[in-house]
Amino acid sequence: MKAIYSFVVLGCFMSTLYSMQEIKAEQNTFKDSLQNKTLRELATAFWNVKDLDSVYKRKLADTYIFKAKKQINNERIADGYQMFLSIYEKQPEISLQYADSIIEITKKLQNNHYPSTGYMIKGNILSTIEQHDAALEAYLVAKEYAERNNNKRQLIGLKHNIALLKTILGKEKEALLVYKENYSYLLKQDSVIKRSQIYIATLYKLSDSYNRLKYYDSAYFYLKKGIKASLSSTYKHYYPNLLFAYGINSYYREEYQSAIDSLDKALILSEEDVNDVNVRKGYLYLAKTYLQLKEEQKALQYLKKVDEITNESNYRLEIGETFTLLLDHYKKNKDQRNQLEIMKKLLRYENASNIKYSRLNHSIVKKYDIPQLIKDKDHLISEIRNDNKVLTYKSIAFSVFLIIIVSSLYIYFSKKRKNKYKVQLNKELEKVKVLENKEGKIVKSSKDFSAKLKKEILEKLNDFEYNKEYLKNDLTLNKVSKNLKTNSTYLSKVINMEKKKNFANYINDLRIEYCIQQIEQNKNFKHYSIRSMAKEVGFNNLQSFVTAFSKQKGCNPAEFMKRYVS
């Protein structure tokens, strides 16, 4: 028997050894075949691979950078870093490192598109993670280099990106002027440009801006052009955004079934990415559509989805209607507790966004609008200086007048908005006080069990926390009360009164505190994926984890890892 066993083991070993030798030989052949390709061939092969996680795609990028470094060609090395940027496009903390590498290696190049490209990419990543002030700074540096190199295509892209920041601030008319100016320029270019990324992005933003300004027929015109251009080009990642805009446009044109179909399809294509503001807008407009169709329960589900994935760091003015609709619902159903909770959230979000966006608004006016106005003034003066001195002085006076007007209007509207916000805030705070007083009475009246029983439950909760039983992923109020050998009603009351939160928030907060402790103290835990972290600390799904984390820390787990963990 032993002889037979030994023979089988030896046979397996020889078979495995032979397989490993085969694989190694294949890998060497594969590696050699890539080494024989030129940089152009490697780049073409790389950009033709669609799967971001493809091993072949990574090998192509590695080989490209290896060959570029061997040639000491900084421009091509930067192109290689762009390849890795595309692989890690959904991981901003890694993408930012590659963007900085591009900037560092190209800062001394006399090139028509570097290092401007690096700064532009960095601005795009920062804008995606809501760091708009830092994004603006990156765009302005990129603009300086693009102007120095007279790179008109880059300048169009940068104007487009700064217009996006204006859209965030609600400056729709200013943004629309930029998109229209870019569109006019692009229309005059060749067919290659008309199939380019910036052309499709411009069509999308034109339609989106017209939607926001309530010019729905104009929006519809550009939406049809944008969808057609997107489907016929290689840049299909704008298609979901165009579908979101089409769904919103259909809602306003009262074509409700078309709105539902477009928004549902857009959500599927965008994989319901909680960091994408279009996803939250999609949920909001599905809710508004179902409200028009008198399907309140469906509408409520989508409003709650927006509430779950929104926090202070990702709140945007354009989804604020979600919370007013929720307030209307809870008011209608006389649900004062939820009404109070939503009101507090809305006030907190509005206050945070008012501070964040007023800073961005100030930066755009001071660092972009006024310098641009001065530049236009200087250009005008240089054109007419030789013709007419009187006109020159008039142009100077007029330009100074314009600068004063722009500055004055900015100060006036900032104060006006601030005062308006204060009045509204005071009104809402009064409502909050009324509801809090009522809530306080409810809590006081609930103290209908003995101090001894309360003490016993608190001791059991302390043991529950010490033993980290909250990390189990199937906890419910009934299960915990059963394990603690107490009544679920009493347990809920103790948590509400002593912990100042409901059962679900109590469990989630414990889990998030444990998660943060592990991130800070456990070297291995830092390298877990976000999904693995969620599972490790007891959450059944990623979205619940991200929502709970954001609620407690004011940022999502990825942002926390970047900001607070070295």
**29 lies in a domain?**
yes
Query: Is 97 found in the same domain as 58?
Result: yes
CATH number assigned to the domain comprising residue 140: 1.25.40.10
DSSP state of 196: S
Residues 6+ apart with CB under 8 A from 297: none
**221 lies in a domain?**
no
Query: Is 51 found in the same domain as 128?
Result: yes
Go through the chain and tell me how many residues it has.
566
Q: What is the pLDDT of residue 397?
A: 60
Per-residue CA distances from 59 to 26, 42, 68 (Å): 14, 10, 14
Alpha-carbon torsion angle 377, 383, 385, 388, nearest 10: -110
pTM of the model: 0.57
- Total number of domains constituting the chain: 4
The residue ranges of the chain whose pLDDT is under 70 are: 1-32, 52-53, 191-195, 356-366, 368-370, 372-449, 563-566
Q: Are 353 and 316 in contact (CB under 8 A)?
A: yes
Query: Is 490 found in the same domain as 506?
Result: yes
Query: Is 144 found in the same domain as 45?
Result: yes
Last residue of a domain, one of 150, 168, 189: 150
Query: Is 17 found in the same domain as 56?
Result: no
Query: Is 116 found in the same domain as 56?
Result: yes
Last residue of a domain, one of 150, 166, 200: 150
**270 lies in a domain?**
no
**166 lies in a domain?**
no
Distance CA 28, CA 83 (A): 23
**385 lies in a domain?**
yes
Query: Is 46 found in the same domain as 130?
Result: yes
CATH number assigned to the domain comprising residue 506: 1.10.10.60
Tokens 């992923």, residue?
473
Q: What is the pLDDT of residue 412?
A: 54
Q: What is the pLDDT of residue 446?
A: 43
Last residue of a domain, one of 417, 445, 473: 445
Q: What is the pLDDT of residue 400?
A: 58
Query: Is 29 found in the same domain as 52?
Result: no
**74 lies in a domain?**
yes
For the chain, the straight-line distance linking the first and the last C-alpha, in angstroms and rounded, comes to: 57
**145 lies in a domain?**
yes
Element (H, E) at 381: helix 370-384
Position 550, amino acid? S
Query: Is 98 found in the same domain as 13?
Result: no
- Domain of residue 479, residue span: 456-564
Distance CA 213, CA 205 (A): 12
Query: Is 42 found in the same domain as 7?
Result: no
Query: Is 466 found in the same domain as 436?
Result: no
Angle, CA of 239, 245 and 249, to the nearest 5°: 140
Measuring CA to CA, which residue among 32, 121, 130, 28 is closest to residue 83?
A: 121
**361 lies in a domain?**
yes
Residues 6+ apart with CB under 8 A from 472: 538
3-state secondary structure 507-545: HHHHHHHHHHHHHHHCCCHHHCCHHHHHHHCCCCCHHHH
Query: Is 136 found in the same domain as 62?
Result: yes
